[in-house]
């Protein structure tokens, strides 16, 4: 059972924390976010609270701001907001630079180089038609467009993308990975208890979105990229020790490679610094 199930429950938890804690209360989406941001924040001045969901985090902030609650900062994944032109209407609500925290890490060349150096085969990587990250991004874009069309802001198809069996629709060949769209659609349907939708119309909409020249780092979901990258390490360009590389292990490895110096180069870091200037009584980041 998740600790916070509604914005009101989360808001109440934050109020309770404030009775004994006077520093910044940083609300993030989930437990994995806590582990990443904990490495960047001043533990003596900033308490991190997981919201267990973006809607909970944003909803709780709205409740607390109505009460003029001081010293709260919320960081959530951008998801498709930037692509849809949505901008937060609160100085206390910040977004990741890219689609989510995982893509922020994956889009950092130095972090990716560390992972490829540790688990990638030099000879196999040379055989690829381009950088491994480009192959992963190109394939994740297909799923990203599918997710976007299915999202509440578009067709609201109520599909379930969590726990998709990626091995069922990611075709593997020598020096290449390729997502079979028909297999992907079939996997999502089965994963969504057989919900029916117009598949031909979906494909047309996906093709139309592809012509929009969208930033792939705003479209691609980090979870999808990690799953595809893990398959790549296991079956296409990894060393022998990567043959049992799971997405969970890869996610943990990526978090470890993402140093504070990399985070300091992001727009999110600059936004947090601006928040600290606007709220001089509260501190978030390490010195």
Pairing of β 24-28 and β 46-50: parallel
Query: Residue 24 in contact with residue 75, Cβ under 8 Å?
Result: no
Task: Give residue-wise pLDDT tens across range 99-156.
Answer: 999 999 999 999 999 999 999 999 999 999 999 999 999 999 999 999 999 999 999 9
Q: State residue 224's pLDDT score.
A: 98
Q: How far is the C-alpha of 222 from the C-alpha of 181, rounded, in Å?
A: 19
Burial class (CB in 10 A: 0-12, 13-18, 19+), 173: exposed
The pTM is what? 0.94
Q: How far is the C-alpha of 51 from the C-alpha of 70, rounded, in Å?
A: 18
Longest distance between any two alpha carbons in the chain, whole Å = 60
* Tens digits of pLDDT across the chain (287 residues): 455 589 999 999 999 999 999 999 999 999 999 999 999 999 999 999 999 999 999 999 999 999 999 999 999 999 999 999 999 999 999 999 999 999 999 999 999 999 999 999 999 999 999 999 999 999 999 999 999 999 999 999 999 999 999 999 999 988 899 999 999 999 999 999 989 899 999 999 999 999 988 999 999 999 999 999 999 999 999 999 999 989 999 999 999 999 999 999 999 999 999 999 999 999 999 98
Could you tell me how far CA 180 lies from the centroid of its own chain? 23
């Amino acid at each position: 059972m998740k600790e916070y199930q509604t914005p009101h429950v989360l808001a109440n938890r934050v109020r309770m924390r404030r009775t004994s804690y006077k520093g910044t209360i940083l609300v993030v989406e989930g437990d994995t976010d806590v582990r990443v941001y904990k490495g960047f924040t001043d533990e003596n001045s900033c308490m991190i609270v997981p919201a267990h969901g973006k809607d909970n985090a944003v909803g709780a902030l709205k409740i607390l701001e109505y009460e003029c609650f001081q010293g709260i900062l919320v960081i959530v994944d951008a998801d498709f907001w930037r692509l849809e032109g949505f901008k937060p209407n609160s100085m206390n609500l910040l977004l990741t630079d890219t689609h989510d925290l995982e893509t922020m890490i994956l889009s950092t060349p130095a972090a990716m180089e560390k992972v490829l150096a540790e688990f990638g085969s030099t000879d196999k990587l040379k055989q690829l038609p381009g950088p491994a990250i480009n192959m992963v991004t190109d394939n994740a874009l297909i799923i990203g467009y599918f997710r976007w069309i299915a999202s509440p802001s578009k067709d609201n198809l109520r599909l379930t993308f969590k726990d998709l069996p990626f091995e069922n629709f990611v075709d593997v060949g020598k020096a290449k990975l390729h997502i079979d769209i028909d297999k992907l659609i079939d996997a999502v349907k089965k994963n969504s208890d057989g919900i029916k939708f117009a598949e031909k119309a979906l494909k047309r909409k996906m093709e139309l979105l592809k012509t929009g020249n969208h930033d792939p780092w705003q479209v691609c979901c980090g979870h999808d990229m990690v799953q595809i990258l893990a398959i790549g390490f296991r079956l296409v360009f990894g060393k022998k020790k990567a043959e049992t590389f799971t997405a969970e292990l890869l996610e943990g490895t990526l978090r470890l490679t993402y140093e504070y110096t990399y985070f300091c180069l992001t727009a999110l870091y600059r936004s947090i610094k601006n928040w600290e200037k606007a709220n001089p009584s509260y501190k978030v980041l390490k010195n």
